[in-house]
Structure 1
Amino acid sequence: MKKWPLLAAAAAVPAQRLARKLSSSGLPQPAPLPPSVPVPHADPPAEMDLVAVPTGVNNRVAAYAYTGGSFFDKRDFYIGAALIKHPQGDLLVDSGFGRDIAKQFATMPRLFQKMTKYEVWKPAVEQLEAADYDFSRLSGILLTHAHWDHMSGIPDFPDLPVLVSRRDRAAFYNPEIFGNFRGYFRDTPFKWQEFSFEGGPYLGFPRHHDVYGDGSIVCVPAPGHTPGSIIIFVTLTHQVRYALVGDLVWQREGLTRRLERPFPIRRLGDFDAEGNRQNILRMASIMQSIPDLIVVPAHDQRAFAEMSQLPNVTTRGRILSAT
């Protein structure tokens, strides 16, 4: 397990080896899923929908997101949530920036604060209020993983269960693992609701959890970025399929070109870089087999632009563009 302030780690790598690690050749092309791994059946309700809830951005560049990216290619990392509407109960995937983000962010390490510049648009709870959303429909917040930019808004929904994998709940309380507002959240009484992966293999992943039993919302374990990271497969009517991959990659190029995070970044930010690498290859294989699959890295605005949008919301989040 790695502690946070280790930027010097990259400097300890010999220059020739570091150059190889920073090359932009990408991971090898995996084979498509074999015929023995079928695309699972889903029976989504007609009224299901997937809605983007952008709460702000983290100002970065492509070079931060993936190996070989340009330092001149500005990328505003999406920070927000996705609302899954389902008749058995709506789910907010992650929560984005909350009302107390400034106080929360001040508890992070100083070096991280200096490296990270963010803009807040509007917290998710305020966007839902502006959209006249019926909060009685909301049954929980489903975390792709327990990191600061995915959890900030949770206190704005104090009565909601927080659905999380068992491994990431444990990681949240592990002082050896960086990435959350542990100091700020020390006394926060989260309504944790752990889930296990009781189902068998799913699209090449070893296990799965079918949230409502109809195949429309399926979680698979994808450890690497954090010990308990998950990927959420969402299937809407007419078999429109999404894969919410969390921080498996930060931008789509990570999967379309099979490019990992740059070595110094993944050395610091990934709990298990090799595990993350294997899950990138799994997803690349799935994308070959399901070419219409809409892959949604948690911080890629282009991906969220392909979702529905909330009505009556005046926020810079409305500028989301797929281009």
Structure 2
Amino acid sequence: MALLWVGVAAVVVAATVITIRSFRPAPLPAPQAWSGPLPPASPPDGMAIYRLPTGTYESRAGLAYRGGSLRDKRDFAATAVLVRHPAGDLLIDVGFGADVDAHLELLPSFQRTAHTLGTPVRQQLDEAGYDLGRLRGVVITHAHWDHVSGLDRLPVPVWMNADEERYVERDKGAAVFRRVVRDREVHRYAFDGPEYLGFPASHDVYGDGSVVIAAAGGHTDGSVVVFVALPDGDRYAFIGDLTWQLEGVTRRAERPWLLRRLADVDPDEVRTGLLRVIALAGRMHVVPAHDGGAFDGIPQWTVSVPTRTDRFPA
């Protein structure tokens, strides 16, 4: 029995050492920068994007990326992006909804971080007189609570791929999603397009290259990166949770080992996706979903933004 306890203690000590070491800086190998041409895109005149902040929640840099300080408190963003397009608009994620407190009750206690609720997407759109008939739906980068809570008050289709549908059917991490999409229309899209900027498959939403959804599984089964090309030549990569903060890109720093195991269904696939994004960072704006500063260059949606009343089918 004594030998058994010695063995157990050794395992615990070894696991503790591995966990502690995993928080230390350890940059990933630098990938070769993307040097080829970017995929063709013909974004139409009048296309634009806007950010709609819905709140923040507290975390620490040391939990977000290797080498971050546990003393560095961060306000993780929960921000939606509205893509305005003459063929109908889209939202990328929706952040916190009005019932976020009830949604948090569906999570394990260790995930219920302190949060600040801002103005939900639906309220922001209503206050600007936005016509929901223009909104073709919500493209979710993945189905975790802080990306989908605001779906509870948005009666529009949710865009999902088959891999993410399988994820939400089985995983506890999708409990909030299952609550907010009850009786909601799901628009199922397929990755019917080719490899896109290193990602294995894609879906061109409008057929003009302006919004392309790329398969980037690993955080969840069907998580995605949404690439947006604007008429002025600017390009964006909305990368969801491939990394939680920009340091994941600028420092080539993945999540600490323990957080990778807790947060990602396939940590190795997340690493691959992150390296693909790092290779693109010099060619476009990379926007991790929870880094508020990464959204700063995107105009904020306000009541002064002009609206149109054209209606488009979902």
TM-score (norm 1): 0.86
AA in 2 matched with 1:178:
G
SS at match of 1:307: coil
Identify the residue that residue 95 of structure 1 maps to in structure 2. Answer: 94
Checking the alignment, whether the CA contact within 8 Å between 2:225 and 2:240 is kept in structure 1 is: yes
After TM superposition, give the deviation of residue 15 of structure 1 in Å: 4.2
The within-5 A match list for 1:305-316 is 305-312=296-303
1:45 aligns with 2:44: yes
SS at match of 1:266: helix
CA–CA separation in structure 2 for the residues paired with 1:167 and 1:190: 18
SS at match of 1:250: coil
After TM superposition, give the deviation of residue 60 of structure 1 in Å: 1.3
Identify the residue that residue 146 of structure 1 maps to in structure 2. Answer: 143
Checking the alignment, whether the CA contact within 8 Å between 2:23 and 2:62 is kept in structure 1 is: no
CA–CA separation in structure 2 for the residues paired with 1:279 and 1:156: 32
After TM superposition, give the deviation of residue 49 of structure 1 in Å: 0.8
Identify the residue that residue 262 of structure 2 maps to in structure 1. Answer: 268
Change (3 A) 1:203 1:65: same
AA in 1 matched with 2:28:
L
Identify the residue that residue 71 of structure 1 maps to in structure 2. Answer: 70
Identify the residue that residue 6 of structure 2 maps to in structure 1. Answer: none
Change (3 A) 1:180 1:251: farther
CA–CA separation in structure 1 for the residues paired with 2:178 and 2:185: 18
> Cα deviations across residues 188-222 of structure 1 (Å, max 9, x unaligned)?
11211111111112111121110000000001000
CA–CA separation in structure 2 for the residues paired with 1:59 and 1:286: 29
1:255 aligns with 2:249: yes
CA–CA separation in structure 2 for the residues paired with 1:247 and 1:235: 20
Identify the residue that residue 4 of structure 1 maps to in structure 2. Answer: none
After TM superposition, give the deviation of residue 182 of structure 1 in Å: 5.6
Change (3 A) 1:12 1:265: farther
CA–CA separation in structure 1 for the residues paired with 2:13 and 2:205: 45
Identify the residue that residue 321 of structure 1 maps to in structure 2. Answer: none
CA–CA separation in structure 2 for the residues paired with 1:12 and 1:173: 37
CA–CA separation in structure 2 for the residues paired with 1:82 and 1:183: 22
Checking the alignment, whether the CA contact within 8 Å between 1:164 and 1:194 is kept in structure 2 is: yes
Identify the residue that residue 129 of structure 2 maps to in structure 1. Answer: 132
CA–CA separation in structure 2 for the residues paired with 1:11 and 1:190: 46
TM-score (norm 2): 0.89
* Displacement over 6 Å in runs of 4+: none
Checking the alignment, whether the CA contact within 8 Å between 1:210 and 1:217 is kept in structure 2 is: yes
What is the number of equivalent residue pairs in this alignment? Answer: 294
Change (3 A) 1:182 1:124: closer
SS at match of 1:173: helix
CA–CA separation in structure 2 for the residues paired with 1:223 and 1:263: 18
AA in 2 matched with 1:17:
I
1:245 aligns with 2:239: yes
Gaps of 5+ in 2: 1-10, 305-314
CA–CA separation in structure 1 for the residues paired with 2:14 and 2:41: 47
CA–CA separation in structure 2 for the residues paired with 1:11 and 1:129: 54
AA in 2 matched with 1:223:
G
The percentage of counterpart residues that share the same residue type is 40
Identify the residue that residue 312 of structure 2 maps to in structure 1. Answer: none
CA–CA separation in structure 1 for the residues paired with 2:22 and 2:297: 33
SS at match of 1:238: coil
Identify the residue that residue 174 of structure 1 maps to in structure 2. Answer: 170
After TM superposition, give the deviation of residue 154 of structure 1 in Å: 0.8
SS at match of 1:246: coil
SS at match of 1:308: coil
Identify the residue that residue 17 of structure 1 maps to in structure 2. Answer: 18
CA–CA separation in structure 2 for the residues paired with 1:174 and 1:69: 32
- Greater C-alpha radius of gyration: 2
Checking the alignment, whether the CA contact within 8 Å between 1:53 and 1:309 is kept in structure 2 is: yes
CA–CA separation in structure 1 for the residues paired with 2:254 and 2:13: 20
Change (3 A) 1:248 1:12: farther
After TM superposition, give the deviation of residue 257 of structure 1 in Å: 1.0
Task: Judge which range, 17-26 or 71-80, deviates more.
Answer: 17-26
CA RMSD of aligned residues (A): 1.9
Change (3 A) 1:183 1:145: closer
Identify the residue that residue 289 of structure 2 maps to in structure 1. Answer: 298
